[in-house]
Chain A
Amino acid sequence: MNLDRRIDKILEINLPAIRDGQETIDAIIEKYPQYAGALRPRLEVILWLVNAKKDLEPRQGYISSSRQYMEHQFESIQPRGFWRRAISRYTPQRWVFNIVAPIIVFLLLALVINSAILTARLSIPGDPFYSMKLLTEDVRLALTFNQVDKTDLYIQFSRERTTEFVELVLEGNYELLPLAATRLETEIIASLRSLNEVPIQNQATEQPMIMQLRDTLTNEILMLNMLKGSSPPTAYSGIELAIQAAQSGLMALR
């Protein structure tokens, strides 16, 4: 037992006697002379606190005289359980407000987020919500763990990039075409890479996916060539880039 614990034990044993004034500091120290040095300062402080206690006592007769008043108070206020206390905490109107307000806020928030997602889905490069569209796509990819489903998503996104490309041409935003073509290329490469990563046990589903990607790329090349024929020369370079990207993808697939 170390010194502090031993001292604590001595203090604990002698505390009742100090409180009752039955023992003096010197009398206690005499019993434990080997600990005198460590005991005396602590005993002196304890004695100070014990004396302080006397000055903090309630007035003579206060407790017994106030008891009757307190009992009347107790009788007028019956104990209440958790639910009664919780219910009586607010008025019924306040309860309705407390319940309805968060629901309304939640619904409004859901409406705003939903509208933003829908607007983002219809956006094309250059729109303020376009980055949100790309973010939503990334989230969908991150939440898709099956490789086949992931490949399917990449092919869908590749189609989406072509649609955006066509819309840009129709709207006359030719300056954005090179960037859109690069995005299309990235999506095609990602589709091919994802297709290569389909596990061997899913080989049966791989063949239809290859067919799907081939059809998608063939249609994209056809669509882009038609677009090139009907567009002004300033759009040629951008469209050519997209056609090259689709053709490279098709070649890689073969």
Chain B
Amino acid sequence: MPARLDKDHELIQKAQQGDAHAFGDLYECHAPIIFRYLFAHLDSRMDAEDLTGEVFLKAWQSLPKYTERGIPFLAFLFRIARNVLVDHYRQSNRQESKSPDELDGYKEEGNSETAEMIGNQMEHQKILRVLATLRPDYQTVLTLRFISELSPEETALVMKRSVGAIRVLQHRALATLRQEIEKTG
């Protein structure tokens, strides 16, 4: 992690001087993590892609603010991602999961529906359904820790809690998720 932090620091300094290419490097490095977090809360892959872009645009615009706060860049991105997600829910009023038939913009794009893609969609829906049964803070801690692969320290910064509290929350969230998985089979 320190190597990643050092690299981030260097790129952020360049980006703050207006180097869009440096911020592009940051995008390429962190976008998959942000995407997974967003996609774990959304039923559409296209929405997750759009929102990932929105998160980075907002981060780019807020770079001076980031320096003032002095938190790791990834935690800064996740805070923006959480706000973007809340705004998206408010705007589209789509908290409820939809059936696989209604999903994913690829159908609208006219792409071929391969069996693999449909299988992925079904699996994604199953994940969303199970995660949706959990309390919001359980969902967040599990998504950040195991899907976005954040460390307990980074998760603590994003969720504005202590590392100890994150460990307890994770412990309880795992237990609850197990019960849910057993219920749904």
Contact = CB atoms under 8 A, between A and B. Distances in A.
A211 interface: no
A74 B60 contact: yes
B118 interface: no
Nearest to B38: A56
Interface residues of chain B: helix, strand, loop or mixed (majority): helix
B82 interface: no
A69 to B, nearest CB: 8
Given A8-B171, A53-B147, A57-B36, A62 B178 contact: no
Interface string B84-117: 0000000000000000000000000000000000
B165 to A, nearest CB: 13
A78 interface: yes
A8 B172 CA distance: 12
Interface stretch (A38-46, A151-159, A196-204): A38-46
Contacts of A81: 64-65
Contact of A55 (B68, B120, B170): B120
A82 B28 contact: no
A4 interface: yes
A63 B31 contact: yes
B60 A46 contact: no
B129 to A, nearest CB: 11
A183 to B, nearest CB: 59
Given A56-B147, A85-B61, A71 B123 contact: no
Contact of A80 (B39, B61, B170): B61
Contacts of B20: 71, 74-75
A79 B61 contact: yes
For the side of the interface on B, what is the size category? 35 or more
Interface string A4-41: 11001000100000010000000000000000000001
Which of B49, B123, B142, B174 has the largest count of A CB atoms less than 10 A from its CB?
Answer: B174
A15 B57 CA distance: 32
B116 to A, nearest CB: 11
Interface residues of A, number: 39
A71 B23 contact: yes
Interface string A63-74: 110111111011
A77 B120 contact: no
Given A42-B174, A55-B120, A79 B146 contact: no
A58 B147 contact: no
Nearest to B66: A79
Contacts of B142: 49
Given A4-B171, A19-B149, A56-B36, 19 more contacts: A8-B170, A41-B178, A42-B175, A45-B174, A46-B146, A48-B177, A53-B36, A56-B35, A56-B124, A57-B35, A58-B39, A63-B27, A64-B28, A66-B31, A70-B56, A75-B20, A77-B61, A79-B15, A79-B63
Interface of B: 15-16, 18, 20-21, 23-24, 27-28, 31-32, 35-36, 39-40, 45, 48-49, 52-53, 56-57, 60-65, 68, 120, 123-124, 127, 142, 146-147, 149, 152, 167, 170-171, 174-175, 177-178, 181
Name the 8 nearest CB pairs between A and B, nearest first: A49-B146, A74-B20, A79-B63, A81-B64, A71-B24, A52-B127, A75-B20, A56-B36
